Amino acid sequence: MANRFSALCKTLGLGVIALTLVGAKVPKVGDMAPPFEITLVDGSKVTLDQLRGNVVVLNFWATWCVPCREELPLLDRYYEVQKKNGLKIFAVTTEDSAPIYQLKKMFALMKMPAVRKISGPYGRIKAVPTNYIIDRSGRIRYAKAASFSLEDLNTNLVPLLNEPVPAS
């Protein structure tokens, strides 16, 4: 199934193009994460408050982005292995991607939740893929327009996953 997912990701899109959106302040490393509400493809909603105590990755990707299509299967496998340790990864499809209905087969193969839309300043990205990592206490620990390798994921996430869950 992972190979089918990988192949499907690679067949979507044409090339890498940078997005430029202007407006509100973009969240930065060291800041407390601004509140957000995610609407998943299935229609359910998740807020940052509901995710406290977990390590959260917001992965902004597009169907036309070659590095995104290579990164998405890696993130999905990583999520499947680490979710029991309090990892939540959300694949946020950018508005300039293929329509959600065209992505249903791919989303059905994914283990991590697929996002239809996100409220808050996280959507003001300059390029895809862009990733944010939010620690268990709600602080942004990583914010970068770049794709992850397995080494990057381990370097950035394992220490956070090993941190204790803060008291409420």
Mean pLDDT of 99-122: 84
Does residue 96 or residue 56 have the better pLDDT?
56
The model's pTM: 0.83
Q: Give me the mean pLDDT over the 56-71 stretch.
A: 93
The residue-averaged pLDDT of 95-104 equals 74
Helices in the chain by DSSP H: which ranges?
2-11, 48-51, 66-82, 104-109, 150-162
What is the rounded CA–CA span in Å between residue 41 and residue 115?
5
Question: What percentage of the chain carries pLDDT values higher than 70?
Answer: 83
What is the identity of the amino acid at 150? L
Angstrom distances, CA of residue 14 to CA of 9, 20, 98, 126, 144: 11, 18, 11, 18, 22
Rg of the chain over Cα atoms, rounded to whole angstroms, equals 15
Q: In Å, what is the CA distance from 156 to each residue of 39, 41, 66, 128? A: 26, 27, 23, 19
- pLDDT tops 70 at residue 114: yes
Most confident range (mean pLDDT) of 21-30, 50-59, 60-69, 94-103 is 50-59
Whose tokens are 């302040």? That residue is 25
Compute the average pLDDT of residues 47-69.
Answer: 94
168 pLDDT band, cuts 50/70/90, is: confident
